[in-house]
């Protein structure tokens, strides 16, 4: 992933897990502009495709909303096939003159998979059903992996909540006002 193309994707933490029949995606609520906290309770995760898909963003807010809309259009076009929609969005994002200027990353989840989508054309499916993006992403990812490995009975929602708390303790661009969404994969 070309992180040089996404210099402003540092301002948040989004983490997702798929386990125990659940898909859970959560984020902190801090919105910053440079080094100034502008908002404490932003909602950076949302349900898409009638609540069957979850998506979260790290990066410029207006860009993220544009990407949410484009991803939702792709989901409609491909009947909810998250992989196909993600690949098509990534292709558009990389080649379209307007879209390629957008500075954000998306983490998306469905009952069958989790993905990270970038503007440099990346669509990444993790090996361990855990995704994390943003400046606090590496901390949340490490925490979520440790929790899944050492506390496998912990519910997916708790894994996400604890991983976000760890990131908030370390990353200055992450706070403890979290939004967590969940899909029951078995339903």
Beta bridge partner(s), residue 32? 37
Amino acid 120: pLDDT? 81
Catalytic residue among 9, 12, 13, 32: 12
pLDDT in tens, 37-82: 889 999 999 999 999 999 999 988 888 888 899 999 999 999 999 9
Which tokens in the block code for residue 176?
């403890």
Given phi > 0 = left and psi -120 to 50 = alpha, else beta, which region is 70? alpha
Q: What is the CATH number of domain 3-179?
A: 3.60.20.10
Amino acid 1: pLDDT? 42
pLDDT in tens, 95-148: 877 777 777 889 999 999 999 998 788 999 999 999 999 999 999 999 999 999
**12 assigned to active site:** yes
pTM of the model: 0.91
Q: Tokens 């979260």 appear where?
A: 56
Q: How far is the C-alpha of 80 from the C-alpha of 93, rounded, in Å?
A: 19
Amino acid 5: pLDDT? 44
């Amino acid at each position: 992933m070309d992180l040089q193309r996404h210099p402003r994707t540092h301002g948040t933490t989004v983490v997702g897990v798929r386990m125990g029949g659940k898909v859970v995606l959560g984020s902190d609520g801090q919105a910053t502009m440079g080094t100034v906290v502008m908002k404490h309770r932003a909602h950076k995760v949302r349900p898409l495709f009638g609540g069957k898909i979850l998506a979260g963003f790290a990066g410029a807010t207006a860009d993220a909303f544009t990407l949410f809309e484009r991803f939702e259009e792709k989901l409609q076009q491909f009947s909810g096939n998250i992989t196909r929609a993600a690949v098509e969005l990534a292709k558009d994002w990389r080649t379209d003159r307007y879209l390629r200027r957008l500075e954000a990353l998306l983490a998306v989840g469905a009952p069958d998979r989790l993905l990270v989508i970038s503007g440099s054309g990346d669509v990444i499916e993790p090996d361990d059903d855990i995704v994390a993006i943003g400046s606090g992403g590496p901390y949340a990812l490490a925490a979520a992996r440790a929790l899944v490995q050492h506390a496998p009975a912990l519910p997916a929602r708790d894994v996400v909540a604890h991983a976000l708390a760890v990131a908030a303790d370390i990353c200055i661009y992450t706070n403890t006002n979290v939004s967590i969404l969940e899909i029951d994969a078995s339903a």
